Structure 1
Amino acid sequence: MNPGSDFLTHIRYEKRLSHHTLTAYANDLEQFSLFLSAECNIGQPELADFRHIRSWIVSLVEGGMDKSSVNRKIATLRTFYEFLLRRKVLTVDPMVKIQALKTSKKLPQYVEEKPMEMLLNDIEFPDTFEGVRDKLILELLYGTGIRLSELIGLKLTDVNLYEKTIIVLGKRNKHRIIPLTQPLFELIQQYVRLKEQEFSGQEDKVYLLVSDKGIAVYPMLIQRVVKRNLALVTTLEKKSPHVLRHSFATHLLNRGADLNAIKDLLGHTSLAATQIYTHTSLEQLKQTYDQAHPKAKK
């Protein structure tokens, strides 16, 4: 029995986590195993105890790793050891005394409405397969708020031509339905026609978005498209697909959308995860007050 391998198989086929999450778990366990071997002379992570885990966490912090990243690794170990306890590989949980590091909550970064309007309405994209595809990537991320992994996983059959909606497979294998605006729906239709013309039936016929070689898109391609185009309209340091998701939620909230509706559109399991956008909206309100009210900063 190989507990580490069994654990990864479990989260892949039984938990059905995304490929991105699976890779993160595998990398975390590998890094922990290397630390145990080099610093503690321990060959397997199931032999580690509280002291070894704490030493690894200390080494990560002292190495300058961001606290949120350290907490993600702690979460990986917690899930791993819970798995071992359920399988009766262990009888004592080494994570009992381990607590997540305290972090300051960061407000999500987002692009203001006017720059987004400029990018999607004023900047011309080439009327080619790649140009239309790149614009569709941006429009889908901003127009639906879906995650990077959800965008990549969109299938042709997930687009409902009659209802003008898409079905998104989110975290924990949960589906949700998101409406499409008429312009976004028409852009999808234009893209599908160009896709068929470009590859003459040789393209991937399962997934909606494909590369210039006709195969399913991959994370780096999406990230490059987003970063290159956001750089045209914003000076934000972070220019990622998740910034467009944050922009989607923030703009909806600023225009009066119900928080519960935004929660459902984003695929959050609890309202607490969505409430961070209320803080972003409040910050914007404070800035407006400071700039406009006569009794503000003097």
Structure 2
Amino acid sequence: MNYIQAADDYLMYLQVEKNYSVNTLISYAFDLKLYGDFLAANDRSLVLDRLTSSTVRRFVQDQVINHGIKPRTLQRRISCLKSFSQYCLKENYMKSDFTAGIQAPKADKKLPRYMTLQELHKLFAYLEQDPRPQALRNELMFKLLATTGMRRQELVDLIWEQLDLDNHTILVRGKGKKRTPPPPSPNSFTVVPRI
């Protein structure tokens, strides 16, 4: 089978059967296209059974040397290719794993820096005094993020139908459309998972 057709099938599988988020699908589609473009640019075959781990190593080398790709991004690209290869084996699109023996580089682990309670109070005080037209919106957004454990994308995707003003609750759709219970909420609104 051809690499491009298999990649399309794989992305459809991730969307329909695995219910991956839009952002993840976009990233995987980009990574698969990059590898396909690399194969084409280097006169390599796009037939799945002709793909080899040495070609993947050359792709990784090209990403690091010619494009300056960071270890974390490279980890995702390799993970994508490994997952794609496993899918192709499962679907009998090819006979051997072209990512066998490929190891992702170790990435530096950056620990998040959290605001102290004092810094958070300062931020809230500033937002409450802000005279600009968007000030109330900004204040509510930051307070929701800081006090509920919502992710940024969950806040951005929020729609009116998710608010229940009578019961002081917000229905949050989790990452990747997963249903997970929220952390305890100390504010006046309770964040509840989708049922």
- For Structure 1 versus Structure 2, the TM-score category normalised by the shorter chain is 0.7 to 0.9
**Cα displacement (A) at 1:40:** 4.0
Secondary structure of the corresponding residue to residue 180 of structure 2: strand
Counterpart in the other structure of 1:75 = 79
1:3 is matched with which residue: 2, 6, 10? 6
Contact 1:140 / 1:146 at 8 angstroms: preserved in 2? yes
1:26 aligns with 2:29: yes
May I ask how many residue pairs the two structures share in their alignment? 185
Alignment of 1:36-51 (within 5 A): 36-43=39-46, 47-51=50-54
**Cα displacement (A) at 1:82:** 1.4
**Cα displacement (A) at 1:47:** 4.2
Counterpart in the other structure of 1:224 = none
1-structure distance, mates of 2:26, 2:93: 23
Taking only the aligned residue pairs, the percentage that are identical comes to 29
- What is the root-mean-square deviation in Å for CA atoms of aligned residues? 2.7
TM-score by length of 1: 0.55
Counterpart in the other structure of 1:293 = none
2:16 is matched with which residue: 13, 16, 19? 13
Counterpart in the other structure of 2:116 = 112
Structure 2, unpaired ranges of 5+: none
| Residues 43-52 or 12-21, more deviating | 43-52
Contact 1:167 / 1:176 at 8 angstroms: preserved in 2? no
2-structure distance, mates of 1:78, 1:30: 15
Contact 1:166 / 1:180 at 8 angstroms: preserved in 2? no
Please give the per-residue CA displacement for 1:276-296, whole angstroms capped at 9, x wherever unaligned: xxxxxxxxxxxxxxxxxxxxx
Structure 1, unpaired ranges of 5+: 186-264, 266-298
Alignment of 1:80-119 (within 5 A): 80-119=84-123
Please give the per-residue CA displacement for 1:253-278, whole angstroms capped at 9, x wherever unaligned: xxxxxxxxxxxx9xxxxxxxxxxxxx
Flag the 1:67–1:46 CA change in 2: closer, same or farther, 3 A.
farther
Contact 1:17 / 1:171 at 8 angstroms: preserved in 2? no
Flag the 1:4–1:181 CA change in 2: closer, same or farther, 3 A.
same
TM-score by length of 2: 0.80
1:151 is matched with which residue: 155, 171, 190? 155
| Residues 171-180 or 67-76, more deviating | 171-180
1-structure distance, mates of 2:77, 2:150: 24
1:66 aligns with 2:101: no
**Cα displacement (A) at 1:172:** 4.4
